[in-house]
Every structure is written in C-alpha cells, then in structure tokens.
Amino acid sequence: MELGFPIQTLYLYTLIIAGLLTLLFVFFSDMFEGLLEAVPISFLNPALVLAFFTFFAASGYIGETAVPLSSPIIALFSSILSVLLVSLLHIFVLVPLSSAEESLTYREGDLKGRVGKVITAVPVDGYGEVLIEGIGGAISKSAISFDNEQIGYGTVVLIVDVNKGVLSVTPHEPL
C-alpha cells in the first residue's frame, strides 16, 4: 500500500515518535500526572496509549517487511497484537505496581508516638541519633531531648514530636 511514500516509512516514523514520547513520559510522568488530573477521561492511561502505538508500529513495520500479506490485513493483525500486549502490560505490570504498598515511605508525622533506641547520646542542648526499627526496616534520625536533658547511649526513647526532620525524644519505660 502506498500513501505517496511506502507504508513501512509511516510505521517506522510512528515507532520512533511513540518511542520518544514514551521515553519522555517515563522521565516526566510526575509532571504529566498533575496535568492529566484535569482530563475527565481517567481510563486512558498515557503509558498504555503510547505502548499501543509503539507495539502497533513495531509489529506493522515487521509485518510489512517480513510477511507477504496485504497492508490492511497486516494493520488488523498489528492492532489485535497491540491490544493483546497492552492488556498484558496493564494486567501484569501496571496494576500490580499501582496497588503495591508504599511500605518504605513514611511521613514525619508517622514517627510521633513510636519508640526508638539512642545510638548516639543526646547531650543537653545538642543533637544525638535515634534508631527506629519497624517491619519495613530501620530508620536513623537526628534527635534532641524534649525535656532538655542528657539521654545516654542505648536508652529506649519515645518520639514526642518531629520538627524539620529532627526528633524530639524523651526516655521511655516499657510497660
């Protein structure tokens, strides 16, 4: 099929453009996420749309150069293959990634009320360090004494407040 130029050229240009847009989307996806919240069509994921065009163009280009069928049949097979591959990408990659727990992230407010252990002594008017252990791992943060008293190494402490990444702690007696 000819459109004034070979159909393989159209597939190749589509593949290059879709591939570059996919790469840009991967690098700047956080910015696009904010822009796309205003769009009422929420079921169209840009990653899936770009993946569809990439798969379609790649399979169409390979089909035109390697398979002796007519262009409309190759385009139909490319569309079906692209829908299948994009569906598999959505089901087996994007859905599990979006529903994965963010267990390694925390907010400073989440640390209030937790118990930790002093790993660097906290002097009176100075900074020390506290280790907070949890299911997702251990966090080590700078700390000051809430009551402005010295807290020695190995003391179990209660986190009373968090201000700009620095914990305010007080000695804690386990029940």
| Domain locations along the chain | 7-99, 108-171
d(CA 146, CA 149): 8
- Per-residue pLDDT, 103: 52
Q: What is the CA radius of gyration of the chain?
A: 28
Our CA angle for 59, 65, 68, nearest 5°, is 100
Mean pLDDT to the nearest integer, 12-39: 81
* Cα torsion angle, 155, 159, 161, 167, sign: positive
- Per-residue pLDDT, 13: 94
Pick the closest to residue 57 from 17, 116, 6, 26 (CA basis): 17
- Per-residue pLDDT, 101: 58
Distance (Å) of CA 155 to CA 112, 159, 162: 17, 12, 19
Specify the pTM: 0.55
Range 23-56 burial, b when 16+ CB lie within 10 A, else e: eebeeeeeeeeeeeeeeeeeeeebbeebbbbbbb
Q: Quick count: other Cβ atoms within 10 Å of Cβ 108?
A: 15
User: pLDDT per residue over 60-101, tens digit each?
Assistant: 999 999 988 998 999 999 999 999 999 999 899 888 877 765
- Per-residue pLDDT, 38: 64
Residue predicted with more confidence, 33 or 151: 151
Would you state the CATH architecture of domain 108-171? Beta Barrel (2.40)
Mean pLDDT to the nearest integer, 148-173: 89
DSSP string, 26-49: HHTHHHHHHHHTT-S--S--HHHH
